[in-house]
């Protein structure tokens, strides 16, 4: 696969140990961890003693530390634990000819129909256009949604793209280098031809731009219209074998990894 180079950012180093995170009237750290589903209280104590737990960016080595379960930010092995059990993030495999929003003035099908049984107030993270399909994230965590869409964090998205026609040599390099669109320069971070016939080409691309219909517009610009577009990944979250029109709640590990990517 051709690439412009990795963009994954290193996690900030823990703050000096003299930065006090102890909250006198708080809850013991191991209890907060256990309540969040990390493991038994004894397992959580071992994780602390092994130097695998940070609170507000500070490495904690003593099991007697107390924290505020509502405001303290806790990471285990670099992944943030989900303390607020009312917050959820859902992966959706959006079908084509469905809008990403919860309502539509034109009365077209919406992703709200796929989560009709849920009571949380969920909203979409980014969008997939009406004709596109694949991975879409829904969440009731406003801070997570905001950060995932913020250009600062450069969250990569991966797409499988079917193109009309056989793609000649050199087009991929051009798209990696960058092309001029009406709203500025656009480029892919990675580009790979997966399959090709005389009639069509299947490529996998990765980019971090969140501009509207950016993948379709880039291929239109080089003269190879998109006939099918499927998003297969958002950061560390993969579509996998999730069937079209189905949903799944992100597990603690993958949610922690996702939150770490946006420094939460």
Q: How many folded domains does the chain comprise?
A: 3
Q: Which helix (H) or strand (E) holds 142?
A: helix 142-149
Instruction: Specify the pLDDT at position 197.
Output: 95
Say if 129 falls within a structural domain.
yes
Catalytic residue among 56, 129, 183, 195: 129
Q: Are strands 226-234 and 133-139 parallel, antiparallel or unpaired?
A: parallel
Say if 140 falls within a structural domain.
yes
Q: What is the pLDDT of residues 61-74, one digit of tens each?
A: 999 899 998 889 99
- Is the pLDDT reported for residue 12 higher than 60? no
Using pLDDT thresholds of 50, 70 and 90, give the confidence band for residue 15.
low
Q: Does the annotation mark 84 as catalytic?
A: no
For the record, the structure tokens of 85 come out as 């059990």
Q: Count, in order, helices (H) and strands (E) of the chain.
A: 6, 18
Say if 241 falls within a structural domain.
yes
Instruction: Specify the pLDDT at position 17.
Output: 46
Q: What is the pLDDT of residues 175-209, one digit of tens each?
A: 999 999 999 999 999 999 999 999 999 999 999 99
Q: Can you name the residues that pair with 243 across neighbouring β-strands?
A: none
Same domain, 167 and 228: yes
Output the pTM of the full model: 0.78
What integer is the mean pLDDT of 161-175?
Answer: 96
- Is the pLDDT reported for residue 60 higher than 70? yes
What are the backbone angles phi and psi of residue 238, rounded to the nearest 5°?
-110, 145
Say if 19 falls within a structural domain.
no
Instruction: Specify the pLDDT at position 240.
Output: 96
Instruction: Specify the pLDDT at position 93.
Output: 98
- Is the pLDDT reported for residue 24 higher than 80? yes
Q: Which domain holds residue 241?
A: 89-152+236-261
CATH number at residue 253: 3.30.70.580
For residues 14 and 58, the answer to whether their CB atoms sit within 8 Å is: yes
Q: What is the pLDDT of residues 222-255, one digit of tens each?
A: 999 999 999 999 999 999 999 999 999 998 889 8
Instruction: Specify the pLDDT at position 10.
Output: 53
Same domain, 148 and 160: no
Using pLDDT thresholds of 50, 70 and 90, give the confidence band for residue 264.
confident
């Amino acid at each position: 696969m051709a690439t412009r180079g990795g963009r994954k950012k290193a996690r900030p180093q823990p703050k000096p140990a003299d930065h006090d995170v102890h909250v006198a009237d708080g809850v013991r750290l191991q209890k907060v961890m256990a309540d969040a589903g990390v493991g038994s209280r004894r397992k959580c104590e071992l994780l602390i003693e092994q130097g695998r737990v940070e609170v507000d960016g500070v490495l904690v080595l003593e099991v007697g530390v107390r924290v505020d379960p509502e405001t303290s930010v806790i990471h285990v092995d670099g992944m943030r634990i989900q303390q607020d059990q009312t917050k959820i993030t859902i992966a959706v495999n959006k079908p084509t000819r469905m809008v990403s929003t919860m309502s539509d003035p034109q009365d077209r099908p919406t992703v709200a129909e796929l989560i009709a049984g849920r009571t949380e107030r969920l909203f979409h993270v980014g969008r997939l256009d009406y004709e596109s399909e694949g991975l879409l994230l829904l969440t009731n965590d406003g801070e997570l949604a905001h950060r995932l869409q913020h250009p600062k964090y450069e969250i990569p998205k991966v797409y499988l793209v079917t193109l009309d026609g056989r793609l000649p040599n050199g087009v991929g390099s051009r798209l990696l280098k960058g092309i001029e669109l009406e709203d500025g320069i656009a480029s892919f971070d990675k580009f790979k031809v997966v399959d090709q016939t005389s009639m069509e080409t299947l490529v996998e691309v990765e980019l971090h731009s969140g501009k509207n219909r950016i993948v379709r517009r880039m291929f239109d610009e080089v003269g190879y219209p998109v006939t099918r577009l499927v998003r297969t990944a958002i950061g560390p979250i993969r579509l996998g074998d999730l069937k079209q029109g189905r949903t799944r709640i992100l597990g603690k590990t993958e949610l922690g990894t996702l939150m770490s990517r946006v420094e939460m």
